[in-house]
């Protein structure tokens, strides 16, 4: 089959690789019909280079049709499924408490990581990912989300990751009717977080340096702000001087405006892999501009909710502000399956209240994935979300 493979820092290519095969009785093979590129893939593209191996198949936002089933799968050939990016057993202590990202069956203990993820480096199990024609899906009786056949792929596709991620971000932010919610970063995750916040009745303030991303968020009711030195003061002014009740950081570890850590990231990416890995595991730092700005912006006693991914073990944190302001801090990979019951009715609503069909700026053949990665990273050509089609 054809699949997108990681070849080196900022270097991916579409190659012919062996077809996946059933390995366990609860596996299925899915023929992928749509598969998105995520901001998390950009971390692999550059910063997490020491944990990648040449030839790794990446991608973790796929959906498609089941074409082969293991003897114990509850799925049938022909089922249409969305595949969550997290790989969880569904029955362990953690899974039974809704913490599927901490699944005790699939945890990657070698690296001290939580549940295995599709296409996400040694840290998360080096499991072949979904930017490919076919995908092997383990624990198929629990993980995949079975969906109907009437609506287009783009209605359902984002259940694989960014929609539940944004939903979890807003739930962790504890933002509801009448609350002021700020969202740092208006990539696909921030877009959905801002829309969900508004949908649930919050007043939304959204910050991003990219004009077309601000315009899109404004169409869904957010008050938008460029990333300037004064932006936190402007938002404080708009919230009785206190700051918002909650702030979601939907940027993560590659934030603009963190020059020192940027140099550190580049240096780690250039070191030989074992050295780079050790350095990341012990003294890695993140680009913390968005996180520190979120902590500064939130009101006293408020909540900072991190959807953006962080990976440094030695990132400096402003403990004085966190402690003195009495801030709640919540974070983590998304426990996808936990939120599907809330989200499925919304994505199937004829009104499409979260605008699932109004996010994708580029749908391209899988063969154009290398250019798509570059475009998404550079934010060129108005790119906000790319979906790849392995069959065209
Ligand atoms: N927790 C999870 O389970 C989960 C799931 C999916 C994605 N993520 C993470 O969410 C983050 C966003 O992902 P995305 O797909 O939206 O990607 P993205 O890279 O398109 O979005 C990041 C956005 O932040 C903006 N930005 C950069 N620096 C900023 C700053 N200092 N202040 C304000 N905005 C800034 C960029 O312009 C961009 O629009 C990534 O870190 C990704 O890894 C987490
Ligand atoms: Zn993702
Ligand atoms: Zn489990």
Q: Are residues 234 and 264 in the same domain?
A: yes
In the chain, what's the furthest Cα-to-Cα distance? Answer: 61
Q: Which residues pair with 184 in a beta bridge?
A: 207, 249
Q: Are residues 202 and 115 in the same domain?
A: no
Q: Are residues 142 and 225 in the same domain?
A: no
Please give the chain's pLDDT, 392 residues, in tens: 999 999 999 999 999 999 999 999 999 999 999 999 999 999 998 888 889 999 999 999 999 999 999 999 999 999 999 999 999 999 999 999 999 999 999 999 999 999 999 999 999 999 999 999 999 999 999 999 999 999 999 999 999 999 999 999 999 999 999 999 999 999 999 999 999 999 999 999 999 999 999 999 999 999 999 999 999 999 999 999 999 999 999 999 988 886 666 766 666 666 667 766 766 666 666 789 999 999 999 999 999 999 999 988 888 999 999 999 999 999 999 999 999 999 999 999 999 999 999 999 999 999 999 999 999 999 999 999 999 999 98
State the angle between helix axes of 259-270 and 273-283 in degrees (0 to 180), rounded to the nearest 10. Answer: 140
Which conformational region is residue 164 in: left (phi greater than 0), alpha (psi within -120 to 50 degrees), or beta? alpha
Q: Are residues 282 and 316 in the same domain?
A: yes
Mutate to test the pocket of ligand 1, among 40, 162, 226 (most ligand atoms within 8 A of CB): 40
Among 331, 354, 380, identify where a domain stops: 331
Residue 227: domain span = 163-331
Q: Are residues 20 and 146 in the same domain?
A: yes
Among residues 186, 173, 198, which one has the least CA distance to residue 231?
A: 186
- The CA 279 to ligand 2 mean position distance, Å, reads 25
**What is the domain-level CATH number for residue 318?**
3.40.50.720
**What is the domain-level CATH number for residue 343?**
3.90.180.10
Helices (H) then strands (E): counts for the chain: 12, 15
Count of C-beta atoms within a 10 Å radius of residue 262: 16
Threshold 0.85, pTM exceeds: yes
Among 302, 331, 360, identify where a domain stops: 331
pLDDT given at position 268: 64
pLDDT given at position 280: 67
Could you tell me how many residues make up the chain?
Answer: 392
Considering its fold, how many domains does the chain have in total?
Answer: 2
Among 308, 331, 354, identify where a domain stops: 331
Q: Are residues 155 and 82 in the same domain?
A: yes
Q: Are residues 181 and 138 in the same domain?
A: no
Q: Are residues 320 and 367 in the same domain?
A: no
Count of C-beta atoms within a 10 Å radius of residue 54: 9
Ligand 1 pocket, residue 213 CB under 6 Å: yes
Ligand 1 pocket, residue 252 CB under 6 Å: yes
């Amino acid at each position: 089959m054809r699949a997108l493979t990681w070849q080196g820092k900022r270097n991916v290519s579409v190659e012919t690789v062996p077809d996946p095969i059933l390995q366990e009785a609860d596996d299925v093979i899915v023929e992928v019909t749509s598969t998105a590129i995520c901001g998390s893939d950009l971390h692999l593209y550059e910063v997490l280079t020491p944990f990648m191996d040449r030839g790794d198949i990446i991608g973790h936002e796929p959906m498609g049709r089941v074409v082969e089933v293991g003897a114990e799968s509850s799925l049938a050939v022909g089922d249409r499924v969305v595949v969550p990016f997290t790989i969880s057993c569904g029955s362990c202590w953690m899974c039974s408490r809704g913490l599927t990202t901490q699944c005790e069956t699939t945890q990657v203990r070698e690296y001290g990581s939580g549940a295995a993820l599709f296409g996400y480096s040694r840290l998360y199990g080096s499991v072949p990912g979904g930017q490919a024609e076919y995908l092997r899906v383990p624990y198929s009786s629990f993980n995949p989300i079975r969906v109907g056949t009437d609506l287009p792929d783009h209605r359902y596709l984002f259940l694989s990751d960014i929609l539940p991620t944004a939903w979890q971000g807003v739930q962790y932010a504890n933002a509801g009717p009448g609350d002021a919610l700020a969202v740092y970063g208006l990539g696909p995750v921030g877009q959905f977080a801002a829309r969900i916040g508004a949908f649930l009745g919050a007043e939304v303030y959204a910050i991003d340096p990219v004009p077309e991303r601000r315009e899109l968020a404004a169409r869904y009711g957010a008050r938008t702000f460029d990333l300037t030195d004064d932006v936190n003061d402007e938002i404080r002014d708009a919230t009785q001087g206190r700051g918002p009740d909650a702030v979601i950081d939907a940027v993560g570890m590659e934030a603009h405006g963190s020059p020192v850590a940027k140099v550190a990231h580049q240096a780690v990416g250039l070191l030989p892999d074992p050295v780079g890995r050790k350095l990341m595991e012990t003294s890695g730092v993140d680009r913390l501009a968005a996180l520190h700005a979120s902590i500064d912006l939130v009101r006293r006693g408020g909540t900072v909710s991190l959807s953006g991914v962080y990976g440094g073990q030695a990132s400096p944190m402003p403990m004085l502000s966190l402690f003195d302001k009495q801030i709640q801090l919540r974070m983590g990979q998304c426990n996808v399956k936990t939120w599907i019951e809330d989200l499925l009715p919304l994505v199937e609503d004829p009104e499409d209240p979260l605008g699932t069909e109004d996010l994708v700026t580029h749908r391209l053949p899988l063969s154009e994935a290398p250019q798509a990665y570059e475009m998404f990273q550079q934010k060129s050509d108005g790119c906000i979300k790319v979906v790849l089609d392995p069959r065209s």
